[in-house]
């Protein structure tokens, strides 16, 4: 296990180093699919240059990073490449650990279930063999490190990589069981971009499950823990925000960062749904649709939490995926983060009907993005509708990609749930009857 | 002219005992160059072919041997019984007040007027066919000439050659003012010349230079003329004329200096071998001291043209000495005394880059003072939809970095205020300083575009303000009777004066969304979001039940019987 992992790491570092030194680095850092106004490296450099000129970076509309990023890059701007190379490894190592932890847990549960002989014959396919599960961490690492989306995002020095690293750290601390660290990291992730706020619910559910506290609104132990966790989270958030205030001595960063994320004033094309929608929106309805689209991101938290309260890890995956698709300025780095977790649920693959179709759609869209961009912006022979169409298709494909595991999860939730249902099995029906 | 033997046709087709002399035709070419007062040049080419033959005489053997006269035109003349044909194609408008009178006038667009022979019975039919044939010959859309735009002027267009000018029923006149002249019209016109565009004056006719002018007109005039005073014999005259006015000086693309090479990008190497005369005339009437002409020529000629006696220098191309040692003749006119005062401070600005995503603004400031350096204050106000990146700002003088001593930058706030950049730059003497800054173009909301979005967006001029060192001491006294033009800017010190230079505004294109699509975009995007929402809703609210498939009929019947019997049922 260690040897293939090391080999993988070496290959990934080599690819990134080669790309950093080549002329492609500049080309990639300009691509709108890879960088957005929120996390472009060019804007970070611009913000630092403004600071040097004595002008607050938030006085214009160019810089939308949080003040802690200014702190970080003020000292490491010359070593930016190393910073960005290191962050994917965070994500990678943590996903490995996540997978291995999950694997251990699932394995234990499966063993118990097998012994209790509760499974019908054809549901055995759903169970994962130990051999398969051994390779899941490696697969997860591979899916993340060698994913072209991740490589592009890293070479472009987009701060999305750092955000992904913080989220991965948060997941790691959650799985390890450390509520304090988890709360602090979640606060940091929320501070960077608001959307990880929705990860509060799955983290809470995980801790409750781990501490064997039943999720019952009438129980005092539930409220006790919830308040504790919320206090840690909100407290860290307040502290971090206060620190940011003291950096520049003003609250300018709040409208510049969070106001920008919510009100979507910049309509630069990206792979998301917001830009063209609000470029063509009637002024009268603009506020209404901004609210609708932003609520859409946060809306699925409670229903999903209710349905998936037994599977908080899967819930984290779903939440990350929803954020990546429906956030206001998505980039391929966000897509890469949830794609990395797909191998952890590889046992559901055999039942995914449309996996071939979905992956073809995503591949084709990724290839067509730069082509149609070039035709619109440089050749002048296409117009914005072409690029917009591919954006729609890409998001469609992503939606199907994450709905399918959820469908399968609901229908065959890993086999260790009492209310599972196998349509085709008459043996199962007879065991119900008897 | 040689005497011609009459062509005698015998009914039995045998020839005369005497030898036939072939029909005599002769070709002359000339070019007149007239410098205009505004610094531009008027060049007029004329090519004349004279042919002793008569297309229209009865009992004549049909003409089939063409030498210098183009066959296509000869066939047209004989088929449609044309007495006179005048056709011209013009691009631009002749500015009489600035340029004087042209040698051969023509209206903008295409103009065709024809006198038919009085033996023609159906003039309209002939006219229609003639316009179509000419349309093919000249690659022009003369087929748009029909009865709706043809007239029969009664007095204005008398025949310019021989002919009984009595019955204007045989005259037709039409113009197409919308007709555009381009290389496709020039090429067949050049093919009508005997030497084509291979030798003689026609080598100068390069379309990329000819059409890059204020005025371009090419014409064909065919008429019968007398050969001598008593008009004992007639000949057909074909004149092809090309008039062009080059405006490189007034449009700022050149200095007041002309040469054949500069105008036509070719020089003359030989006269047309088929030409009996090939001459270049240069009008030197106005002011012999105003410009100098080289190579010099002793030949002068005087002519009365359009009521004015003018003197011309003549260059005879049929003589080998004209071409000199290099076997190439390049006429050069240089205006003397061009001592315009060069300003000490001058600035230009342009946009570099390609595509609709990024770009670069370059501001170039020239310090023309020979030995003094002075600081200038550059102010740039760029609209918010061009996002400037101040970390890409570079200032270079004489290819070295020149750091401004003071920079005031106020970044733009989207839809609130523009960028403001002010810099104090020290300009080294006699140098060019370049200030560059990169920008990104934003996609605006569809309502924020102007009605003609592809025209582009304007960026206001940069302002360069400076105290320029003065060559002349200025007085700082305030006097009441100073003229107004010298008292606008208060003079603070004697040795320098305040000057403000504005650069060009910029025109920048922004990427545009499709303006016809608001409903479509809203519907499609909402569909994608709804698909996601709907799938989630389905999955989260649907409950799964075990569905017992209904047993087949035989089994049901068997179970029914068993129930009656009281025996356990089948599965």
List the single residue in B414, B522, B544 with the smallest CB-CB distance to A277. Answer: B522
- B61 sits in which H/E element: none
What is the C-alpha to C-alpha distance for residues B42 and B217, in angstroms, rounded to an integer? 11
First to last CA, chain B: 128
Residue B397 has pLDDT above 70, yes or no: yes
CA distances from A37 to A29, A195, A267, A286, A328 (A): 12, 16, 9, 20, 11
pLDDT of residue A125: 46
Most confident of A247-256, A341-350, A418-427: A247-256
CA distance B289 to chain A (A): 54
Residue B46 has pLDDT above 90, yes or no: yes
Residue B149 has pLDDT above 90, yes or no: no
**pLDDT tens sequence across A187-220:** 999 999 999 999 999 999 999 988 888 877 888 8
Domain boundary among B304, B335, B366: B335
What is the C-alpha to C-alpha distance for residues B342 and B471, in angstroms, rounded to an integer? 13
CA-CA-CA-CA dihedral for B509, B511, B515, B516, to nearest 10: 120
- B266 sits in which H/E element: none
List the single residue in B354, B443, B518 with the smallest CB-CB distance to A268. Answer: B443
CB atoms B521 and A388 under 8 Å: yes
B160-174: average pLDDT: 82
What is the C-alpha to C-alpha distance for residues B240 and B28, in angstroms, rounded to an integer? 11
Helix axes A41-53, A67-76, angle to 10 degrees: 90
Of B174, B155, B176, B177, nearest to B166 by C-alpha is B155
CA distance B431 to chain A (A): 28
Looking at per-residue confidence, does B138 or B303 come out higher?
A: B138
Which chain B residues are closer than 8 Å to A293 by Cβ?
529
Looking at per-residue confidence, does A112 or A30 come out higher?
A: A30
In contact, A94 and A144? CB cutoff 8 Å: no
What is the C-alpha to C-alpha distance for residues A200 and A185, in angstroms, rounded to an integer? 11
Same domain, B279 and B314: yes
Classify residue A364 by burial, with Cβ atoms within 10 Å: 0-12, 13-18, 19+: middle
Percent of chain A whose predicted confidence (pLDDT) is above 90: 45
Classify residue B552 by burial, with Cβ atoms within 10 Å: 0-12, 13-18, 19+: exposed
Written as six digits, the tokens of B255 are 């200095």
CB atoms A283 and B447 under 8 Å: yes
In contact, A325 and B532? CB cutoff 8 Å: yes
In contact, B237 and B161? CB cutoff 8 Å: yes
In contact, B248 and B254? CB cutoff 8 Å: yes
CA distance A16 to chain B (A): 26
**Where is average pLDDT lowest: A256-260, B156-160, B358-362?**
B156-160
pLDDT tier for residue A119 given thresholds of 50, 70 and 90: very low
**Where is average pLDDT lowest: B50-64, B89-103, B449-463?**
B50-64
A290-308: average pLDDT: 93
Q: In terms of residue numbers, what domain contains B115?
A: 26-335
Residue B49 lies in a domain: yes
Neighbouring C-beta atoms of residue B38, cutoff 10 Å = 14
List the single residue in A303, A307, A383 with the smallest CB-CB distance to B514. Answer: A383
CATH of the domain at B438: 2.60.40.740
| Antiparallel, parallel or unpaired: β B275-283 and B25-35 | parallel
What's the number of CA atoms in the CB half-sphere (13 Å) around residue B11? 0
Residue B132 has pLDDT above 80, yes or no: yes
Chain B contact present for A62, CB below 8 A: yes
List the single residue in B513, B524, B532 with the smallest CB-CB distance to A384. Answer: B513
Of B245, B333, B341, nearest to B289 by C-alpha is B333
Secondary structure string (H, E, C) spanning B483-537: CHHHCCCCCCCCCEEEEEEECCCEEECCCCCCCCCHHHHHHHHHHHHHHHHHHHH
CA distance B78 to chain A (A): 51
Same domain, B323 and B353: no
CB atoms B411 and A282 under 8 Å: no
CA distance A131 to chain B (A): 31
Chain B contact present for A275, CB below 8 A: yes
CA distance B556 to chain A (A): 18
Q: Could you tell me the sign of the dihedral formed by the alpha carbons of B288, B289, B290, B291, in that order?
A: positive
pLDDT of residue B96: 81
CB atoms B355 and A378 under 8 Å: yes
CA distance B207 to chain A (A): 29
In contact, A118 and A414? CB cutoff 8 Å: no
CA B236 to chain centre: 35
pLDDT of residue B431: 92
What is the C-alpha to C-alpha distance for residues B254 and B261, in angstroms, rounded to an integer? 13
- Sheet hosting strand B257-259, strand order edge to edge: B257-259, B332-335, B291-294
Looking at per-residue confidence, does B318 or A371 come out higher?
A: A371
CA distances from B538 to A295, A299, A406, B533 (A): 19, 15, 11, 9
Chain B contact present for A295, CB below 8 A: no
Written as six digits, the tokens of A126 are 């759903």
pTM of the model: 0.69
CB atoms B409 and A407 under 8 Å: no
Residue A426 has pLDDT above 70, yes or no: no
List the single residue in B413, B442, B533 with the smallest CB-CB distance to A60. Answer: B413
Closest residue on chain B to A425 (Cα): B546
Looking at per-residue confidence, does A4 or B529 come out higher?
A: B529
**Where is average pLDDT lowest: A187-191, B142-146, B254-258?**
B254-258
pLDDT of residue B52: 84
Same domain, B78 and B189: yes
Written as six digits, the tokens of A405 are 């595991």
Written as six digits, the tokens of A258 are 């969070």
**Where is average pLDDT lowest: A134-143, A221-230, A287-296, A318-327?**
A134-143
Residue B243 lies in a domain: yes
| Antiparallel, parallel or unpaired: β B386-397 and B431-441 | antiparallel
B292-315: average pLDDT: 81
Residue B517 lies in a domain: no
Residue A171 has pLDDT above 90, yes or no: no
Which chain A residues are closer than 8 Å to B535 by Cβ?
399, 403
B364-381: average pLDDT: 91
In contact, B332 and B293? CB cutoff 8 Å: yes
Same domain, B148 and B191: yes
Looking at per-residue confidence, does A1 or B111 come out higher?
A: B111
Most confident of B25-39, B58-72, B111-125, B326-340: B111-125
CB atoms B529 and A283 under 8 Å: no
CA distance B442 to chain A (A): 6
Most confident of A261-275, A419-433, B279-293: A261-275
**Strand ranges (DSSP E) for B135-270?**
150-151, 171-176, 215-226, 234-246, 257-259
Residue B513 lies in a domain: no
B329-335: average pLDDT: 82
pLDDT tier for residue B139 given thresholds of 50, 70 and 90: very high
A83-99: average pLDDT: 67
Q: Please, which residues have CB within 8 angstroms of residue B16's CB and are 6 or more apart in sequence?
A: B8, B10
Residue B295 has pLDDT above 90, yes or no: no
Written as six digits, the tokens of B207 are 């379309």
In contact, B468 and B496? CB cutoff 8 Å: yes
Report DSSP letters for B279-346, one per residue: EEEEE--S-TTTEEEES----EEEEEETTEEEEEEEEETTSGGGGTTTT-B--EEEES---PPPPSEE
Residue B7 has pLDDT above 50, yes or no: no
Residue A129 has pLDDT above 70, yes or no: no
Closest residue on chain A to B454 (Cα): A380
- B32 sits in which H/E element: strand B25-35
A61-81: average pLDDT: 84
Chain B contact present for A283, CB below 8 A: yes
Which chain B residues are closer than 8 Å to A198 by Cβ?
none
Report DSSP letters for A143-155, one per residue: HHHT-HHHHHHHH
Partner B, chain A 302-321, Cβ-Cβ below 8 Å: 303-304, 306-307
CB atoms A280 and B357 under 8 Å: no
pLDDT tier for residue A131 given thresholds of 50, 70 and 90: low
Most A CBs within 10 Å, among B384, B404, B525, to test the A interface: B525
Same domain, B310 and B419: no
Most B CBs within 10 Å, among A266, A280, A306, to test the B interface: A280
CA-CA-CA-CA dihedral for B531, B536, B537, B540, to nearest 10: 160
Closest residue on chain A to B445 (Cα): A279
pLDDT of residue B87: 95
Residue B350 has pLDDT above 90, yes or no: yes
pLDDT tier for residue B432 given thresholds of 50, 70 and 90: very high
Residue B206 lies in a domain: yes
pLDDT of residue B23: 56
Residue B13 has pLDDT above 80, yes or no: no
Mark A291-320 as b/e (b = at least 16 C-beta within 10 Å): eebbebbbbbbeebbebbbebbbbbbbbbb
**pLDDT tens sequence across B31-40:** 999 888 777 8
pLDDT of residue A97: 65
First to last CA, chain A: 46
**pLDDT tens sequence across B498-551:** 888 888 889 999 999 999 999 999 999 999 999 999 999 988 888 767 777 777
CA distance A113 to chain B (A): 21
**Where is average pLDDT lowest: A44-58, A105-119, B213-227, B471-485?**
A105-119
pLDDT of residue B11: 42
What is the C-alpha to C-alpha distance for residues B222 and B162, in angstroms, rounded to an integer? 11
Q: Please, which residues have CB within 8 angstroms of residue B41's CB and are 6 or more apart in sequence?
A: B33, B34, B35, B245, B246, B258, B263, B333
Written as six digits, the tokens of B524 are 């499609």
CA A315 to chain centre: 12
pLDDT of residue A427: 32
CA distance B444 to chain A (A): 7
In contact, A409 and A419? CB cutoff 8 Å: no
Most A CBs within 10 Å, among B353, B390, B391, to test the A interface: B391
Chain B contact present for A80, CB below 8 A: no
The DSSP letter of residue B184 is: H
Residue B529 lies in a domain: no
State whether ipTM is beyond 0.90: no
List the single residue in A267, A300, A421 with the smallest CB-CB distance to B443. Answer: A267
Q: Is the peptide bond before A135 cis (omega within 30 degrees of 0)?
A: no
CB atoms A378 and B528 under 8 Å: no
Chain B contact present for A325, CB below 8 A: yes
Looking at per-residue confidence, does B11 or B194 come out higher?
A: B194
Looking at per-residue confidence, does A98 or A314 come out higher?
A: A314
Instruction: Decide: helix, strand or coil at residue A419.
Output: coil
Which chain B residues are closer than 8 Å to A64 by Cβ?
none
Rg of chain A over Cα atoms, rounded to whole angstroms, equals: 23
Which chain B residues are closer than 8 Å to A45 by Cβ?
391
Written as six digits, the tokens of B128 are 């229609």
Average pLDDT, chain B: 85
In contact, B235 and B51? CB cutoff 8 Å: yes
Which residue, chain included where needed, has tokens 């019908």? A120
CA distance A78 to chain B (A): 15
pLDDT of residue A103: 62
pLDDT of residue A412: 58
A77-87: average pLDDT: 71
Same domain, B238 and B106: yes
Same domain, B245 and B381: no
pLDDT tier for residue B357 given thresholds of 50, 70 and 90: very high
List the single residue in A59, A276, A396 with the smallest CB-CB distance to B513. Answer: A276
pLDDT tier for residue B3 given thresholds of 50, 70 and 90: very low
CA distances from B72 to A204, B45, B86, B182, B378 (A): 95, 22, 15, 21, 65
pLDDT of residue B532: 92
Same domain, B362 and B275: no
Chain B contact present for A356, CB below 8 A: no
| Count: domains in chain B | 2
What is the C-alpha to C-alpha distance for residues A171 and A178, in angstroms, rounded to an integer? 10
């Amino acid at each position: 296990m260690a040897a293939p992992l090391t080999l993988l790491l070496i290959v990934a570092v080599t690819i990134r180093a080669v790309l950093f030194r080549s002329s492609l680095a500049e080309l990639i850092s300009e691509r709108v699919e890879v960088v957005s106004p929120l996390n472009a490296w060019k804007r970070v450099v611009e913000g630092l240059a403004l600071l040097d000129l004595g002008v607050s970076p938030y006085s214009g509309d160019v810089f939308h990073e949080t003040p802690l990023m200014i702190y970080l890059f003020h000292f490491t701007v010359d070593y930016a490449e190393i910073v960005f190379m290191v962050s994917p490894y965070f994500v990678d190592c943590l996903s490995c650990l996540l997978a291995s932890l999950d694997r251990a847990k699932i394995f234990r549960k499966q063993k118990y279930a097998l012994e209790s002989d509760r499974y019908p014959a054809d549901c055995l396919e759903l169970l994962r063999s130990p051999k398969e599960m051994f390779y899941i961490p490696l697969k997860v690492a591979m899916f993340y490190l060698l994913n072209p989306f991740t490589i592009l995002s890293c070479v472009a020095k987009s701060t999305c990589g750092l955000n992904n690293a913080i989220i991965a750290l948060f997941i790691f601390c959650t799985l390890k069981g450390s509520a304090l660290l988890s709360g602090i990291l979640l606060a940091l992730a929320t501070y960077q971009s608001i959307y990880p706020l929705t990860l509060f619910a799955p983290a809470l559910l995980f801790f409750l499950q781990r501490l064997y506290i039943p999720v019952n609104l009438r129980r005092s132990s539930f409220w006790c823990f919830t308040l504790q966790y919320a206090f840690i989270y909100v407290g860290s958030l307040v502290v971090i925000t206060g620190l940011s205030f003291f950096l520049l001595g003003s609250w300018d960063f709040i409208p510049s960062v969070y106001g920008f994320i919510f009100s979507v004033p910049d309509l630069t094309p990206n792979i998301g749904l917001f830009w063209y929608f609000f470029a063509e929106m009637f002024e009268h309805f603009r506020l209404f649709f901004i609210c609708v689209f932003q609520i859409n991101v946060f809306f699925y938290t409670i229903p999903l939490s209710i349905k998936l309260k037994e599977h908080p890890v899967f819930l984290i995956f779903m939440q990350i995926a929803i954020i990546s698709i429906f956030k206001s300025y998505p980039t391929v780095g966000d897509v890469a983060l949830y794609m990395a977790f797909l191998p952890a649920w590889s046992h559901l693959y055999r039942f995914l009907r449309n996996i071939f179709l979905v992956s073809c759609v995503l591949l084709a869209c990724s290839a067509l993005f730069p082509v149609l961009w070039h035709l619109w912006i440089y050749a002048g022979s296409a117009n914005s509708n072409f690029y917009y169409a591919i954006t729609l298709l890409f998001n469609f494909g992503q939606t199907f990609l994450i709905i399918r595991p959820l469908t399968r999860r609901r229908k065959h939730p890993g086999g260790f749930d009492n209310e599972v249902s196998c349509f085709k099995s008459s043996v199962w029906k007879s065991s119900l009857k008897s | 002219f040689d005497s011609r033997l009459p062509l005698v046709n015998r009914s039995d087709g045998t020839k005369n005992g005497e030898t036939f002399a072939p029909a005599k035709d002769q070709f002359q070419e000339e070019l007149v160059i007239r410098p205009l007062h505004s610094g531009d040049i008027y060049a007029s080419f004329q090519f004349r072919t004279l042919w002793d033959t008569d297309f229209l005489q009865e009992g004549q053997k049909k003409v089939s041997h063409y030498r210098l006269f183009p066959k296509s035109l000869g066939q047209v003349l004989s088929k449609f019984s044309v007495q006179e044909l005048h056709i011209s194609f013009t691009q631009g408008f002749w500015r009489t007040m600035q340029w004087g009178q042209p040698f051969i006038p023509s209206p903008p667009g295409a103009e065709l007027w024809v006198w038919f022979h009085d033996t023609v019975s159906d003039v309209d039919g002939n006219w229609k066919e003639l316009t179509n044939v000419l349309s093919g010959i000249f690659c022009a859309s003369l087929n748009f000439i029909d009865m709706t735009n043809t007239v029969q002027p009664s007095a204005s267009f008398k025949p310019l050659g021989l002919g009984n000018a009595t019955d204007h029923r045989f005259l037709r006149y039409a113009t197409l003012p919308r007709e555009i002249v381009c290389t496709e019209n020039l090429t067949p016109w050049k093919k009508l010349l005997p030497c084509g565009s291979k030798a003689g004056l026609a080598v100068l006719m390069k379309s990329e230079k000819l059409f890059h002018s204020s005025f371009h007109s090419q014409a064909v005039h065919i008429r019968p003329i007398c050969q001598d005073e008593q008009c004992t014999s007639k000949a057909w005259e074909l004149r092809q004329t090309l008039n062009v006015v080059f405006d490189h000086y007034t449009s700022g693309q050149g200095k007041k200096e002309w040469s054949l090479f500069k105008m036509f990008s070719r020089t003359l190497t030989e006269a047309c071998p088929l030409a009996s005369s090939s001459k270049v005339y240069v009008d030197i009437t106005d002011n012999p001291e105003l410009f100098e002409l080289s190579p010099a020529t002793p030949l002068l000629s005087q002519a009365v043209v359009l009521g004015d006696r003018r003197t011309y220098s003549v260059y005879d191309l049929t003589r080998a000495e004209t071409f000199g040692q290099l076997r190439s003749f390049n006429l050069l006119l240089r205006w003397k005394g061009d001592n315009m005062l060069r300003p000490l401070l001058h600035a230009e600005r342009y946009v570099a880059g390609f595509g609709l995503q990024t770009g670069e603004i370059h501001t170039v400031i020239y310090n023309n003072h020979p030995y003094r350096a002075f600081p200038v204050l550059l102010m740039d106000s760029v609209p918010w939809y061009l996002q400037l990146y101040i970390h890409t700002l570079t200032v270079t003088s004489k290819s070295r970095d020149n750091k401004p001593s003071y920079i005031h930058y106020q970044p733009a706030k989207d839809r609130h205020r523009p960028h403001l950049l002010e810099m104090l730059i020290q300009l080294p003497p006699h140098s060019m300083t370049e200030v560059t800054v990169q920008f990104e173009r934003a996609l605006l909301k569809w309502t924020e575009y102007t009605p003609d979005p592809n025209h582009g967006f304007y960026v206001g001029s940069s302002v360069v303000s400076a105290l320029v060192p003065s060559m002349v001491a200025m007085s700082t006294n305030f006097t009441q009777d100073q003229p107004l033009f010298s008292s606008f800017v208060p003079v603070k010190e004697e040795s320098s004066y305040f000057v403000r230079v504005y650069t060009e505004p910029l025109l920048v294109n922004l990427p545009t969304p499709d303006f016809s699509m608001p409903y479509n975009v809203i519907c499609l995007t909402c569909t994608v979001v709804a698909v996601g929402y709907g799938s989630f809703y389905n999955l989260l609210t649907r409950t799964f039940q075990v569905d017992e498939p209904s047993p087949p009929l035989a089994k049901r019947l068997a179970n029914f019987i068993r129930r009656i019997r009281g025996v356990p049922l089948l599965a």
